[in-house]
């Protein structure tokens, strides 16, 4: 056999990467002697990182440190320890049913409390019911917003809730002016509490914003006590809160059956429930308007449409807020707080609307 490569009778390599025979197991071809790598075989070309990679660049998925492919590339479900933002959050049907039941019970409790409230000290039982709802509101929204000075915000909000209920009962003439004074005093108390705590001064603006939101919410519930003292107040409470309760309950029950189409992958709510809930709340208020003295089916439907829409949108906004906090990397809210936040926010917005209705109809 004539020599092919120098004097060692070895065929030249056809692989630009290994410098060996074209057979992958390194054995010589049939009928030819075994040959090792050439004496002057050096490292494969392009031994460093790919030319386009920067000094801090990480090798792409499916490649080794030198840039050569090591296997088929696959999409990583997580990047830098953060969950994939496109992941579809499942809808928990039993939880949706439980939230619907809570919204219905809350509406029934507030409506019957307003209907049974009598003059003078007979309004105290209704004020106790409202104060219990205010405590739930403070718990849910404080744990959801998680301001820097959490205990300061919670204590100030509870104090404002009690003072607002007293201010709604004691004056001889029912009005919103005493509640406005309580709201301003509560906000000032929150400012002082933030400034006293030196450790929270860097994030005082964020904490003051949370204080304002929660204080306004608890004062809004106190307007129901004021409404129970005016002639048309109980009727307005019946129409607005019934529309809100029906809308919230139907929207959540629809999510348990048909959570479609999804409004966002991270929010376990469906557009069908929001629309059907608002429609059912409007229908319920129109039917109630037939049996009330100063209402008609038309006026009841208009008031109910506004109340139901505000309630379901507030509930939906709470879900979006919780999803955005989790996507930002913040720890999730307390389990019970994040599920009560939406219905409580819906009723907190419906209470001032009921007072506005009495002003228009008087």
Q: What is the dihedral of CA 87, 88, 94, 98, to 10 degrees?
A: 80
314: CB partners within 8 A, 6+ apart: 342, 345, 346, 348, 349
Structure tokens at 207: 């904490």
Closest among 312, 233, 242 to 271, alpha carbons compared: 312
From CA 69, how far away is CA 23, in angstroms rounded?
Answer: 20
pLDDT at 49: 52
Residues with pLDDT less than 50, the chain: 1-10, 14-34, 47, 54-57, 59, 61, 66, 68-69, 71-84
Question: How much is the pLDDT for 70?
Answer: 54
Sign of CA dihedral 253, 143, 317, 137: positive
pLDDT at 251: 97
What is the pTM assigned to this prediction?
Answer: 0.75
| 69 DSSP assignment | B
DSSP-based helix, strand, coil % in the chain, nearest 5: 60, 5, 35
Give the whole-angstrom CA distance, residue 42 versus residue 16: 11
**Mapping DSSP to helix (H, G, I), strand (E, B) and coil, where does residue 340 land?**
helix
What local confidence, expressed as pLDDT, does residue 201 receive? Answer: 58
Given this model, what pLDDT does residue 6 score?
46
Residue 123 is classified by DSSP as G
- Predicted pLDDT at 27: 47
Q: What pLDDT score does 77 carry? A: 41
Q: What is the C-alpha separation between 315 and 300, in angstroms, rounded? A: 22
Compute the distance between CA of residue 352 and CA of residue 348 in angstroms, rounded to an integer.
8
Q: How far apart (Å, rounded) are the C-alpha atoms in residues 108 and 325?
A: 32
357's tokens: 């209705």
Distance CA(45)–CA(193), nearest Å, equals 68
**Distance (Å, rounded) from C-alpha 149 to C-alpha 288?**
44
Q: For residue 153, give Cα distances in angstroms to 56, 124, 198.
A: 45, 26, 15
Domain range summary for the chain, segments of one domain joined by +: 95-117+232-362, 121-227
**To 5 degrees, how large is the angle CA 138–CA 143–CA 149?**
90
pLDDT tens, position by position, 281-295: 999 999 999 999 889
């Amino acid at each position: 056999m004539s020599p092919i490569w120098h004097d060692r009778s070895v065929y030249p390599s056809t692989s630009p990467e290994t410098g060996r025979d074209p057979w992958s197991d390194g054995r010589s071809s049939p009928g030819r002697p075994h040959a090792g790598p050439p004496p002057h075989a050096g490292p494969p070309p392009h031994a460093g990182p790919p030319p386009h990679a920067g000094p801090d660049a990480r090798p792409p998925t499916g490649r080794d440190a030198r840039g050569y492919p090591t296997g088929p590339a696959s999409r990583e479900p997580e990047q830098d320890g953060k969950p994939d933002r496109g992941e579809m959050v499942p809808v928990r049907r039993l939880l949706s049913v439980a939230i619907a039941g809570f919204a219905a019970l809350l509406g029934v409790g507030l409506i019957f409390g307003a209907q049974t409230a009598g003059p003078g000290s007979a309004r105290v039982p209704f004020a106790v019911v409202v104060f219990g709802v205010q405590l739930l509101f403070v718990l849910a929204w404080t744990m959801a917003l998680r301001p820097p000075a959490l205990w300061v915000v919670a204590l100030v909000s509870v104090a404002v809730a009690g003072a607002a209920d007293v201010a709604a009962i004691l004056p001889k003439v029912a009005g919103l002016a005493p509640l406005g004074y309580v709201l301003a005093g509560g906000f000032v108390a929150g400012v002082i509490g933030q400034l006293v705590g030196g450790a929270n001064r860097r994030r005082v603006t964020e904490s003051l914003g949370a204080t304002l939101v929660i204080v306004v919410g608890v004062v809004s519930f106190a307007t129901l006590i004021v409404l129970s003292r005016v002639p048309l107040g109980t009727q307005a409470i019946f129409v607005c809160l019934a529309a809100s309760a029906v809308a919230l309950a139907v929207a959540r029950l629809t999510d348990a059956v048909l959570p479609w189409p999804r409004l966002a992958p991270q929010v376990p709510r469906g557009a069908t429930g929001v629309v059907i809930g608002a429609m059912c709340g409007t229908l319920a208020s129109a039917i109630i308007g037939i049996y009330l003295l100063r209402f008609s089916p038309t006026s009841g439907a208009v008031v109910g449409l506004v109340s139901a829409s505000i309630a379901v949108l507030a509930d939906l906004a709470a879900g979006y807020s919780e999803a955005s906090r989790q996507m930002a990397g913040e720890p999730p809210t307390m389990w019970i707080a994040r599920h009560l936040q939406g219905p409580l926010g819906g009723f907190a917005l419906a209470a001032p609307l009921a007072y506005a209705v009495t002003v228009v109809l008087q």
